[in-house]
Structure formats: structure tokens, C-alpha cells
Amino acid sequence: MKKSLLVLTTLALGISLAACGKNDNSNNASNNGASSSAPASAAISGAFSAAGSTALQPLVDQASKKFMDLNKDVTITVNGGGSGAGLSQVAEGTVQIGNSDVFAEEKLKDADADKAKELVDHQVAVVSIAAVSNKDVGVDNLTKAQLVDIFTGKVTNWKDVGGKDQKIVLVNRPASSGTRATFENFALGAKSEDLPDSITEDASGTVRKLVSETPGAIGYLALSYLDDTIQALKYEGVEATAENVASGTYPVWAYEHMYTKGEPDGALKAFLDYMLSDEIQGTDVKDLGYIPVSDMKVTRDVEGNVTNK
Amino acid sequence: MTQTRQAADAIANDGRGKFPKHKLEELRGRGYVMFCVLLLIVIIFSIVYFIASRGLTPFASQGVSVGEMIGGLKWSPEADTPRFGALPFLFGSFATSLLAAIIAAPLGICAAIFMTEMMPKVGKNILQPAIELLAGVPSVVYGFVGLSVIVPFLRDVFPGQGVGILAGGIVLSVMILPTITTVATDALRSLPAGLKEGSYALGATRWQTISRLVIPTTLPSLMTGIVLGIARAFGEALAVQMVIGNAPHIPHSLTQSAATLTSIITLSMGNTTSGSLHNNALWSLALILLIMTFLFVFVVRLLERRVKHA
């Protein structure tokens, strides 16, 4: 009895010690890395976490690592979880930054509308979404009306929109997804239905795989996910490129938001400023397939009204 | 470490006069076990309470009726007049898990018979570790293999897009195979040796012994394994979500897009804000899953009771 208890305590101690050791190591490693890069501008310190949109996560992740290299005393934790979870958590104060693909007012409605008022919006990038299809459908351009017909199930064969005689297979995102909301709002101008026989997947990688492999498939993806296994469709004759989005000719785009509860200060403010600095906007934002906010010649408000800058 | 031991010895020595050492140990051990059990009970009840409190909100204060949730066919939570019919998901969950059991049960039970009755050595050294290995593969790997191999195969062979209940059932059958095989093997191994020897002594062949004696005697235990497998399949989320298609409709064929309770929860949970009607409705689905799991546990208990009576 006693021996087993001792073994248990040893194990527990050992595990906790090992865990401590690991943390120390990783801290040291990041500190060492920091000393080699540029010296920190001013001594800022603090620890905070960001959670939410998986579409924005790679950018925040990369930027936070760079920021922590520059400022040794700042610890930033970045998690995913989805836009809704990010907004809930920042409103409740569980995390300091809530990442979201949509305006907080669109998610926090009705009883939660008060929560949205407390949140401060920081638009750090623009993400554009293109309709994509399997390569063999024989169509490379769709009008808004044709897209609406396809995504509401009125048109079920590619030959009706000028393509091959092939059944259309819809690959959708979940009804609550920010990407789907952007596509519905700005490409269709209407809500789409979850039709029988359609496929719904949450991960963009899975959507791309299914569209590339399923004959007659159509879906939509952020520009960062486009590659040559699928065909990006022109929208009303306009190609989905960063230039067309920035100039306002390609309308299917949305801001990536980083929400804070109240105005940020200290390290939090420094990090959000860093997100908007040329160092991130000019390199990481573009590398990861987003469009820098500073490039945009148009702005859009929560109601979707687009105005020239 | 040594400090702990010294402290423990000190306490033991101090109390030696009126309190024997072994009694102290007994007390300490009992205290530790009681603490763990209490913690476990608190955790279980908190989980049930949390899911129930969130999951009942749509019915209690947000105007969704239980009948609509269980019997409704239309699921459109983000529409202007949201509808919360979860029958397609209930159908999908039952269809995929039953299909998985239909595929996996004969395989698992045959494997168990092979390992215990026919070639115990090969079974113990090769087959059993191999099957148990399947339990350690992460479900996202199963999902990806399903998406890359099974779905394209089904798409080529059958009409439809390949995603659907058939793909989900096949992926799940591999995932529940270890559960069914392990439980069946244990049951067959625990069969009293005298029974089989008696059968052989009467001149029965091995096949006669297996089919007329071994299987009927261990049937309740075999059923337990199958029910546990179904319960596991019912709760599996990620792998199924990747291959089933997730359209919220009851499909007309096995290779048409369908959805399960778990796949809808994992698809939408992160995109909804906590406290919203959509989010609470997802918790209601979780509550249905929890109740179903209770029912499965209940069935397993009933089967176990039958084993004891037999």
C-alpha cells in the first residue's frame, strides 16, 4: 500500500517536474532567438491570448511569433475555435483578442447586442473568396444570377449554364461559417439552402480536395486556398485577384477582424499596431494569401455599404 | 522524495503507540481512493448538468418544441425563421452505427473465434496486437483515409458522390473492430474448458462445438461487445464528418450525402456564439447523444445480467 502510494507521488512529482522543465526550455529557446533579432523598441511586457477564426489563425500565429521575438517579455497564445467562439470568449473576457471573419454585430444579435457594443474592431486584413469548380465542368465564368440558381438548386446541370452535360454537386460550408456568410452576402446576395445531396465540410482543405476530385463539383474558397487542382471561376467576368479586390471591382471579400473588449492598451495595443505595421502587412499578410487593409481603395461598413476611400 | 518518505515515517512512528502503522496506511489509502471517487462523481454530474442546462434552454425559454427537435425534418438554424428538426441526424447516426456493426460484428467475432479456438498462438502473438493497434489510430487519420480511398472508390462503383452512410459505415466499422474483437475474445477465453471438452468427448467436430456450443453460450457477451461498438460508433465525430457529406436531409440511398448528430455539432459549434439559439440547439443535440449513450450503457447492463443468470 505504502509503496504504491510512494510510486504514485513520485510519478506525479516526476511528471510535473518534467512539464516545468519543458516550459523552461521552450522559454529559453524563444528568448535566445529574440536576442539575435532587432532589439525591442521599448520594454513592453504582458501575456494575453487570442482565439477564434481559423481563417485568420495562420496570420495571427505568424505575427505573434515575430512580435514575441522582438519583445521578450510578451507572451501571446493563439488558438482557433471558430469566429463565434472567438467573439463569445472576448466578450466574456476569457481571451483578450477575439478573431472573427464577420462583424461582431452580425454574430452577437438580439439579446447579445449589448455585448457587441463593448467590443472594439481592429480590421487587420481582407480575405477574398472565389467560387471554385472541378476542372472538367466546361465553364470558367458565372454571373451572379447563375450562381444564385446553382446554390438554390434551380439549376442542377452544368449544361444549363453553358458547360458540359454533367450533374452539379454543391460543396458548401456550414450555415454558421463566416466564409459562407461572405459568399452569400456579396456573391449571391441571398441566403443559400442546404439542399439534399449537397456536401458540407468545415475545413477549406477538405472542400478543395472534394471539389478537385468530385466530377461536377462547385464550391467556394478563400484565395489563399486556390491552386491548380481546382478551377477558380470568374464572377461576372471579373477574375478573383488581389488587385481586383483592392480596386473594388471584385466584390466578394470581407475583413478579418481582431476584436478587443474596450480600447486596448500596453502590450495588447502594441501588438495590434504591429499587426497593421508595414512589417506584417507588406510581407506576412501577402505571403499567406490575404490582402493588406492599406491596399484597399474601398471600405465597407457593417451594413455592407461600399465607399471609396 | 526522501522528504516525503521521512515525513510519512515520522507520522507513522509518532502514532505507533496508540495507532498501528498498518491502520494509518489503511486510512490513507482509503482517503485517497475516496477522494478520487468523489472527484469523479463531481465531474460526471457537472458534465451532465452543464450539457442539460444548455441543451434544455431552447425548449424552456427559446420556443423550440421537443417534438419539432426529435421529429422535424428541416434543420435551418440560420434562416430568418429558424427550424430545428433533428430527425435526419438521428436517422444518420443510427444508420451509420448499425451499418458499421453489421460489417464489423462478423469480422470481429470470427477473429475472436480464430484467436481462441483455432490458432490461439498466432492469435495472441500477431492478430490480437494488430487489431488492438487499430484502436490507437487517431480518428482524423481514419477520416482522411476514408476521404482519399473509400469515397473515390464508392464514387466510381456506385451512383452518387461517394460520400454518405455507406462511406461512414465502412470507416466506422474499422474503428469499432477492436472493441468488438476484444470483448468477444475475452468472452470466449473465459468459457469453462470442461464444456468444450465435454462436447469433443461426445464426438462433436470443432465446427459443431463452435456453432452449437461456444457461440450460443457466449452470445450475451458477444452482444455486449457489439452494443459497445455501436455506442462508440454513435459518438464518433471527426472521421464521420469528413466522409458523410453532412447534408441535413434523410438520404434516399447509401451513397447520398447524410448527416449525423456528432457531425453537425462539430461542424457548427465553433462558428456560433455561446448563448445564441443556434448554439443552444447544438447543445440539445449533445443532450440527445448523452441520453442515447445512457441507453446503450443500460442495454449493456441488461446483457451482463443475462450472462450472470446463464
Mean pLDDT of A135-157: 93
Mean pLDDT of A170-180: 90
Least confident residue range of A245-259, B119-133, B175-189 = B119-133
**What pLDDT score was predicted for residue B257?**
93
**What pLDDT score was predicted for residue A175?**
87
Give B66-91 pLDDT, tens digit per residue: 888 888 899 988 888 888 999 999 99
Give A90-137 pLDDT, tens digit per residue: 999 999 999 999 999 888 877 678 888 889 999 999 999 999 999 999
**What pLDDT score was predicted for residue B4?**
60
CB contact under 8 A, A199 and B246: yes
**What pLDDT score was predicted for residue B64?**
86
CB B116 within 8 A of CB B209: no
**What pLDDT score was predicted for residue A161?**
93
- Asked if residue B189 has pLDDT above 50, the reply is yes
**What pLDDT score was predicted for residue A33?**
37
**Mutation test of the interface with chain B: which of A2, A79, A134, A209, choosing the one with the most B Cβ atoms within 10 A?**
A2
Mean pLDDT of B255-267: 93
Confidence of residue A36 (pLDDT cuts 50, 70, 90): very low
Question: Residue B231 in 3-state DSSP?
Answer: helix
Residues of chain A above pLDDT 90, percent: 56
Mean pLDDT of A155-164: 93
Confidence of residue A23 (pLDDT cuts 50, 70, 90): very low
Identify the residue with better confidence: B234 or B1.
B234
Tally Cβ neighbours within 10 Å of residue A41.
9
The counts of H helices and E strands in chain B are 15, 2
CB A167 within 8 A of CB B161: no
Distances (CA, A) of A65 to A271, B36, B170: 11, 40, 42
Averaged pLDDT of chain B: 89
Identify the residue with better confidence: B54 or B17.
B54
Mean pLDDT of B148-160: 92
Nearest by CB: B267 against A108, A111, A200: A200
What is the DSSP secondary-structure string of A201-229? Answer: -S-HHHHHHHHHHSTTEEEEEEGGG--TT
Confidence of residue B10 (pLDDT cuts 50, 70, 90): low
CB B32 within 8 A of CB B8: no
CB B226 within 8 A of CB B179: no
Mean pLDDT of A198-224: 92
A-chain residues within 8 Å CB-CB of B278? Answer: 176
**What pLDDT score was predicted for residue B13?**
57
Mean pLDDT of B45-52: 95
Helix or strand holding residue A193 (H, E): none
Averaged pLDDT of chain A: 84
Least confident residue range of A72-86, A104-118, B154-168 = A104-118
Nearest by CB: A83 against B5, B162, B271: B271
Question: Residue B310 in 3-state DSSP?
Answer: coil
- Asked if residue A16 has pLDDT above 50, the reply is no
Tally Cβ neighbours within 10 Å of residue B139.
17
**Mutation test of the interface with chain B: which of A112, A194, A259, choosing the one with the most B Cβ atoms within 10 A?**
A194
Distance from the B180 Cα atom to the nearest Cα atom in chain A, whole angstroms: 30
Question: Residue A111 in 3-state DSSP?
Answer: helix
**If you ran DSSP here, which 8-state letter would residue B199 be given?**
H
Q: Which residue has the cell 466578450?
A: A91
A-chain residues within 8 Å CB-CB of B267? Answer: 174, 200, 202
Q: What would the grid cell of residue B185 be?
A: 475474445
- Asked if residue B146 has pLDDT above 50, the reply is yes
**What pLDDT score was predicted for residue B3?**
60
Confidence of residue B6 (pLDDT cuts 50, 70, 90): low
- Asked if residue A21 has pLDDT above 60, the reply is no
Taken in order B208, B214, B220, B221, the sign of the CA dihedral is negative
Distance from the B306 Cα atom to the nearest Cα atom in chain A, whole angstroms: 36
* C-alpha A259: how far from chain center: 13
Confidence of residue A1 (pLDDT cuts 50, 70, 90): very low
Mean pLDDT of A167-194: 90
- Asked if residue B162 has pLDDT above 80, the reply is yes
- Asked if residue B210 has pLDDT above 50, the reply is yes
The maximal CA–CA distance of chain A, rounded, in angstroms, is: 80
Tally Cβ neighbours within 10 Å of residue A223.
21
B-chain residues within 8 Å CB-CB of A84? Answer: 270-274, 276, 279
Residues 6+ apart with CB under 8 A from B187: B112, B218, B221, B222, B224, B225
Residues of chain B above pLDDT 70, percent: 93
Chains A and B form CB pairs within 8 A to the count of 125
Nearest by CB: A197 against B155, B242, B256: B256
Mean pLDDT of B127-136: 90
Confidence of residue B8 (pLDDT cuts 50, 70, 90): low
Taken in order A67, A71, A72, A76, the sign of the CA dihedral is negative
**What pLDDT score was predicted for residue B14?**
55
CB A181 within 8 A of CB A102: yes
CB contact under 8 A, A196 and B270: no
Dihedral class, residue B91 (left if φ above 0, else alpha if ψ from -120 to 50, else beta) = alpha
Distance from the B266 Cα atom to the nearest Cα atom in chain A, whole angstroms: 9
CB contact under 8 A, B76 and A194: yes
CB contact under 8 A, A84 and B152: no
Q: pTM to 2 decimals? A: 0.82
CB contact under 8 A, A194 and B248: yes
**What pLDDT score was predicted for residue A19?**
43
